[in-house]
Amino acid sequence: MTDNKIVRDVFLRRLKLERSYRPATLFRNPGWHFEDYLKLAVAYHLRARPDFVFLQVGAFDGMANDPVRPLVQEFGIRGIIVEPQAKAFEALKKLYADHPQVILVNAAVAEANGSRNFFTADSGPIQQASFDQAHLLKHRIPADRIVCQQVRCVTITSLLEEHGLERLDLVQVDAEGYDARIVRTIDFGRVTPRIIRFEHVHLKNDDCDACVEMLASHGYRFMTERRDIIAILEN
């Protein structure tokens, strides 16, 4: 790289921008991109951990934009799937009926055990359901169509104790703006997941930065996707 290009890249980074290194033909043909980085990360760690264990927080119906179901189907990995919406949970039970190694839990992961308000739509389960009513309004769900439900809440530590798991290799979080708070509840003194993937697109910049910095302090390094960040334990 020439000195002029280095200076330009440093200047762009100060503006919180980055130059793209993709060839022009890949911009013209976005369908040529391989974007399943999570699958690559899991396949890599399966070599050393054939008894791979995952936790999925917020699975919805297991079909819509779900990153874990293909991994269960292809690799047969075992783990826990947590989903608070009752009707979506029923869909998950049917979907995973032939996968006894997958434990389904009808609850929400939070900072403490108990129950709390959870917002969804009166028409049924939605992907935008959240602890935060404002999140649904932001997605143009009319206020008069939003309903509040009480859902069971459980911590990650309690889930592991309840189901007799000593470790986690993957934590996948899609919590509609609550992701950073859930990641921060991981007790790294008890478990150190090899991979943590969380949705950053709904996070405030400061919250996302704080979450990334916390994970970096525990030895994680990162791959960024359009909507998600994959944190991988470096050693």
Q: What is the DSSP string of 156-224?
A: HHHHHHHTT----SEEEE--TT-HHHHHHT--TTT---SEEEEE-TTS-HHHHHHHHHHHHHTTEEEEE
pLDDT at 19: 74
146-154 β-sheet, strand order: 108-109, 146-154, 114-121
Residue 121: pLDDT band by 50, 70, 90 thresholds?
very high
Mean pLDDT over the full length of the chain? 92
Q: What is the pTM of this model?
A: 0.90
Spatial CB neighbours of 124, under 8 Å, sequence gap ≥ 6 = 87
Q: Residue ranges of the domains in the chain?
A: 32-115+153-233
Degrees to nearest 5, angle at CA 185 with 181 and 191:
140
Higher-pLDDT residue of 214 and 33 is: 214
Give the pLDDT confidence score for residue 1 in this predicted structure.
52
pLDDT score of 15 more than 80: no
pLDDT of 2 above 70: no
What CATH architecture does domain 32-115+153-233 belong to? Answer: 3-Layer(aba) Sandwich (3.40)
Q: How many CB atoms lie within 10 A of CB 60?
A: 22
Dump pLDDT digits (tens) for 168-223: 999 999 999 999 999 999 999 999 999 999 999 999 999 999 999 999 999 999 99
Structure tokens at 128: 């935008």
The answer, yes or no, to whether residue 35 has pLDDT greater than 90, is no
The predicted-structure confidence for 128-145, as pLDDT tens digits, reads as follows: 999 999 999 999 999 999
